[in-house]
Structure 1
Amino acid sequence: MKRIVVYGVTGSGKSTLARAIGERTGLPYHAVDDLTWEPGWVEVPADVQRSRIAAVCAGEEWVLDSAYMSWLDVPMARAQLIVGLDLPQWLCLVRLLRRTVSRAITRTPVCNGNTESLRELFTRDSIIRQQFASYPRKRRRMRQWQHDPSMPPIVLLRSPRAVRAWLDTM
């Protein structure tokens, strides 16, 4: 498999796993947030996002750490494998909170020099709120893909132990 999409909710470990897959296989890893956010947390227009993702997906080898609905069809048309992180919501939430608080305190750049802040945790656009809103939809989508013959093969991983075990097979 040379074209892989890692899919899951915010905080599930998509970027960590996609990076590890790239390191183990030598496949180029692409952080989707770097393609979809500009400095100052300016969202890249949807048509530009789509063209950036299309350029990546035109290649013969890649690992993406997400797939957004506005251009989901682009990587899915070429993906050879989907790795779905179907982890419990409480675990994703704990990871997300820990990561966000740590990055906010240390001012660690996330993508294109952007940083997170504790204040943002309590806004309408909070990453925590987004996680709660997207969790049921993304989980349902992954499980539907598993039974859809038109989709690439999907590996659903439901625990950190399963993720580690699967990664050891790479």
Structure 2
Amino acid sequence: MTYRRVLLYGVTGSGKSTAAARLSEVTGIPWHSVDDLTWQPAWVALPDDEQRAVFRDICAGERWILDSAYRAWLDVALARADLVVGLDYPRWLSFARLVRRTVRRAVRQEVVCNGNRERWRAILSRDSILVWHARSFARKRDRMRAALGDADGPEVLLFRRPRDLERWLGQQPSTTY
């Protein structure tokens, strides 16, 4: 099957953006970074209705890769996606990746999106991305697994190990798209 509209889905820290960038590079399908489009300066989230409008426009296109989908517009992406690539990794793996990435960004003061940076105060707060991982892990995993059983939805490939995703990415010739 030819995939032209691909949604990567997984828990926070699973590697969705990295995988989306690689898939875009291999296939030539444009990748849209969800964080860049939803987080404004000072970590202010774009209002839900504005997010829906942004992603409704993107998803109306014929070719796209999204590296996530937020609850406010997940239905929009799923209605148009040809394929959902689910990163269903163990909790310990995604959490370890998230900690490593978050600490690296804070130490190096890397710009994450729209001028935003990881701040130690935020990392250690109740609103931390690390706390978010713990709160959202089961819900996101359940959503991914439920998509497998939805006969009316897009095809779902669920990867439980990074090496399986790597193997699949390596098999994606640009001529397929």
- Secondary structure in 2 aligned to 1:125? coil
Mapped partners of 1:93, 1:119: distance in 2 = 19
Q: Which residue of 1 aligns with 2:151?
A: 149
Mapped partners of 1:137, 1:52: distance in 2 = 24
Deviation at 1:166, TM superposition (A): 1.0
Q: Which residue of 1 aligns with 2:54?
A: 52
Which of 80, 100, 103 is the aligned partner of 1:101? 103
State the TM-score, normalized to the length of structure 2.
0.94
4+ long deviations beyond 2 Å? none
Mapped partners of 1:130, 1:150: distance in 2 = 30
Deviation at 1:88, TM superposition (A): 0.5
**Cα deviation code 1:87-115 (max 9, x no counterpart):** 00000000000000000111111111110
Deviation at 1:118, TM superposition (A): 1.9
Q: Does residue 127 of structure 1 match 2:124?
A: no
Gapped runs of 5+ residues in structure 1? none
Gapped runs of 5+ residues in structure 2? 173-177
Total equivalences in the alignment: 170
- Secondary structure in 1 aligned to 2:42? coil
Mapped partners of 1:125, 1:67: distance in 2 = 20
CA-based RMSD of the aligned residues comes to 0.7
Which of 60, 63, 77 is the aligned partner of 1:61? 63
Larger CA deviation: 78-87 vs 35-44: 35-44
Larger CA deviation: 154-163 vs 113-122: 113-122
Amino acid at match of 1:122: L
